[in-house]
Amino acid sequence: MTSQYISAIMHTQWLNAMSIARSLKAIAFILGTVATCGYATRAEAIEFNFGFAEGTSDAVVDGFNQAGALWSSVLVDDITVNLDVQYGALNSPSLGRFSPVRVNVGYQNFVSALDADATSVNDPTAIQNLPKSANFDLLVDAELSLLINSTQNNPNGIGSSTPYLDADGDCNNRSIRITRANAKALGLPSTGTQNCAPSAFNTSTSPSDGMIQLNSLFSWDFDRSDGIDADKFDFVGVAAQGIGTALGFISGVDVLDFNAPLTTDEGSFFFNDSQFPFVSSVDLFRFSSDSVAASEQTQAVSVIDWTTGRTVDGQEVDKYFSIDGGQTKIASFSTGIRTGDGQRASSWKADEINGKSIGILEPTPALGEQLEISATDRLLFDVIGYDVAVNQSSGGDGGNDNGGFSGGSDGGDFPDEPVAVPEPTSGLILGLGFAIALKYRQKRKSE
């Protein structure tokens, strides 16, 4: 890392510290001013077609239908999402396993579809600040730039956790990997679009858009009408988490995290950055102070932080959700099972770390906790291509995301992809274990 780059990072960190008040005001404006928005609510709503195994109990069927209704009350896209559902004993310490079907699309195809689908007052800001490399249309055909680490070709050393700028025009600078449901919402082909990724990335012929498995070995409360029993988990809420994952709340950083390094009987291996064409639609809004500094240094529109979890001077580097190129932090993401905070990057920061629940994709649901779709959830799904209903307030923080913007893994199966990088396709798994035990003890002490 050059001294100029280090200086830029330090300068940006100072600027971030000086602009906390401005950022908080902007966040409040994002999440709380829907009453001034003049967009009309569409009549349609997203529909869910659940495939239940024969003999599934009425309680499970009704629970998933309620979970689908939560999302249908928020998202008004005229699409049908097909999801297979399994409820039974899992050889896992986790509440469930979520496996969305994913496809690769060309980055410019995605941006064009997002622009054509813009409906909310926040969409123009998000689209205007999407990552765009300063090298695009020059000698190096890099459409998006990202900070990355833990790769074979890291200039700071093989597998180094020190980040570097990846803008060399490889496939991971020109292609993103999204869920098929997300593609449907944007009007993109459910088999993906022509891009640089191997064709085998888009070979699924199943009508299903994903699989949700919930573990029957846990005690579940299927009735939310009177709250959640203190010794049970919210079935409808966790089912809604699985749906949210299928809709698109995923991060390809989990793939990098799992392969940093990949450890097998033959040894440990790192991969080149070109072998990670797994940037998701959510990742396009994943930033850090380091990535903002890199953007300023290179004059790119924005640079996302696609690194594994890392610390600086003993402090974890914050990876956060932003729709204005990282200038304003809205909420923190988790940073990875292996190299980060112990939770998948495909989730919000755990509430026992963050101090409060950010949204429905909370990675560590607690006994007695009722899960809700928050304003921050709605804002995220808005900017990745969904149409969000106006004047919705479905619990959580009670705000709304349509206001204007100013200014634990159980191992799972990790099948080899054609580029030889194992992608965790069979489980965006709810990390529990120690976090659940800690929450339960804290709850009992307070009673």
**Among 30-44, 80-94, 211-225, whose mean pLDDT is lowest?**
30-44
pLDDT score, position 200: 78
Per-residue pLDDT tens over the stretch 41-62 = 444 899 999 999 899 999 999 9
CB-CB contact of 285 with 322 (8 Å): yes
3-state helix, strand, coil in the chain (%, to 5): 30, 15, 50
User: Is the per-residue pLDDT at 178 higher than 90?
Assistant: yes
Task: State the pLDDT at residue 400.
Answer: 35
Spatial contact of 212 and 246, defined as CB atoms under 8 Å apart: yes
Please compute, for residue 260, the number of CA atoms within 13 A of its CA located in the half-sphere on the CB side.
28
Confidence at 423, pLDDT banded by 50, 70, 90: low
Min mean pLDDT across 30-39, 205-214, 305-314, 436-445 is at 30-39
Q: How confident is the model at residue 2 (pLDDT cuts 50, 70, 90)?
A: very low
Tens digits of per-residue pLDDT, 358-387?
999 999 999 999 999 999 999 999 999 999
The helix/strand/coil state of 102 is: strand
Collapsing DSSP to helix, strand or coil, 311 comes out as strand
Q: What is the mean pLDDT of residues 190-206?
A: 82
pLDDT tens figures, 384-417: 999 999 854 433 343 333 444 333 333 233 333 3
Is 8 a residue whose pLDDT tops 60?
A: no
Cβ atoms of residues 339 and 257 within 8 Å: yes
Give me the residue label for tokens 């020109």: 174
The average confidence (pLDDT) of the chain is 82
Beta strands in 69-195 (DSSP E): 80-88, 96-100, 102-106, 145-148, 164-166, 175-179
- The tens digit of pLDDT for each residue in 262-275 reads 998 989 999 999 99
Report in angstroms the alpha-carbon separations of 80 from 63, 209, 269, 285.
18, 10, 40, 26
Task: Tell me the average pLDDT across 200-218.
Answer: 89
For residues 217 and 88, is the Cβ–Cβ distance under 8 A? Answer: no
What's the rounded mean pLDDT across residues 208-213? Answer: 96
> How confident is the model at residue 29, as a pLDDT?
42
How far is residue 81's CA from residue 106's CA, in Å, rounded to a whole number? 22
Q: Helices 289-298 and 3-18, interaxial angle, to 10°?
A: 120
The DSSP bridge partners found for residue 332 are 320
Give the list of residues 6+ apart from residue 349 with CB closer than 8 angstroms, or none. 331, 332, 333, 334, 341, 343, 358
The answer to whether the beta carbons of residues 364 and 354 sit under 8 Å apart is no
Cα 361 from Cα 376, distance rounded (Å): 10
- The pLDDT of residue 212 is 97
